[in-house]
Amino acid sequence: MEETQAVIEILKHAGQLALSYFRKVVPEWKRDLTYVTEADLAVQGYIQEALAKRFPGDGIVAEENGLNADPDVGSRTWVVDPIDGTAAFAAGLPIWGPGIALFEDGELVAGYFYAPAVGDLFHTTRSGKVLRNGHPTRLRQSVPFHRETSLLVASRLHRNYHIDPSFPGKLRNLGSSIAHLCYLATGCADAALMERVYVWDIAPGLAMLQHNGGMLVYLDGTPVQISDLLQRQRAPQPMLAGHPETITALAPLIQYVNSPEDREAEIRDHASPCQTQSAAST
């Protein structure tokens, strides 16, 4: 079976497995103050096993239990998020799903995401296309901004950011970082403001964004080198994604008001009483 189709089949099965747990699980806290559920662990176990069987020798970086192979060993590394949007999943909301990305020699070359509750399947092709449910897509840009310009935002926008009131458009949060990038890449939004997330939270969607001509930069304007995050560290700054012209016009309107040091202190202060035994093992 051709590689892209093989990964799609793995992704579809993973999505259906996650769907079998939907609205039936109770979340637990992890050290980083995010949720994990038994569905995350079951889906990740399936994806890791399926990828290892289909692509033996490839590295795998996965959210919930570390590495099954070092990403520096060999030229190919799969990045896995079993359920991106776990909080939305646990709340019974529909935008979440498994995401898979492929790096070759440190370069992000492919991305896959499936949102089974709404039936949306996104993936790149080796020919450079980005497909949503089998249909070709394109990135849009909205400069100058107007009332229907759509900015996908981080869930804690009210705590961590200030958006200049001169921005005339709309703000939306769907509950999944990968979904934000996928819907952005396929023309459903104009830009996305991303938190200081991990490689698995963005790589699948970023592959699609890049294939369609978009870019991801830190708020200070520095381009994001996604391979730098393969060692499981958080991004050093929030990020902005979109068409290059959109990013240029939008970046001056966004101010980050919560420093990385504040966030790390929040995690240190609250992680111990929140974490559970199963969460602490992740």
Q: What pLDDT is stored for residue 239 in this prediction?
A: 98
CATH number of the domain at 215, please.
3.40.190.80
Per-residue pLDDT, 21 = 97
Query: Which of 101, 136, 171 is at the close of a domain?
Result: 136
Is residue 261 very low, low, confident or very high in pLDDT (cuts 50, 70, 90)? low
Residue 229 has pLDDT above 50, yes or no: yes
Query: What pLDDT does 259 receive?
Result: 57
**pLDDT confidence tier of residue 281, bands split at 50, 70 and 90:** very low
**Across the chain, what does the average pLDDT equal?**
90
* pLDDT recorded at residue 269: 46
String of DSSP letters for 78-127: EEEEEEETHHHHHHT-S--EEEEEEEETTEEEEEEEEETTTTEEEEE-TT
The reply to whether 189 and 121 lie within a common domain is no
Indicate if 107 and 8 belong to the same structural domain.
yes
0.85 surpassed by pTM: yes
In a domain, 264, yes or no: no
Output the domain CATH number for residue 125. Answer: 3.30.540.10
pLDDT at 97 over 70: yes
Same-domain check for residues 80 and 162: no
β-partners of residue 193 are 240
Pairwise CA distance, residues 2 & 100, whole Å: 16
Measured distance CA(10)–CA(49) in Å, rounded:
10
Please give the residue range of the domain that contains residue 220.
150-259
Residues 28 and 98 both lie in one domain: yes
